[in-house]
Amino acid sequence: MGEIAGIKYTKDAAGRRRYVRVDLDMHGDNQLLEDFLDLLEIEARKGGETVSLDEFNRYVDKRIESNV
């Protein structure tokens, strides 16, 4: 695989590609990259605390009222 500007690979001790560094100034507006990062965020939040829709709506309403 050839080099891509703004993409750097780091290899492990066995010489296998292990990590990818992405220059966000060059590739930050890439929709596929945004989708990938969104999926990582979703995966990280699995099993986390949840709130009901009613509770969320009350929270938002309270925030809106305090800013008016």
- Each residue's pLDDT tens digit, 14-61: 999 999 999 989 988 899 989 999 999 999 999 998 999 999 999 999
Q: What is the pLDDT of residue 62?
A: 94
Examine residue 2 and state whether it is found in any structural domain, yes or no.
no
pLDDT confidence bin for 68, thresholds 50/70/90: confident
Residue 25 lies in a domain: yes
Q: Is the per-residue pLDDT at 1 higher than 70?
A: no
pLDDT band at 67 (very low <50, low <70, confident <90, very high): confident
Q: Which residues form the domain of 19?
A: 7-67
B/e letters for 22-51, b = 16+ CB within 10 Å, e = fewer, are: beeeeeeeeeeeeeeeeeeeeeeeeeeeee
Question: How many domains does the chain contain in total?
Answer: 1
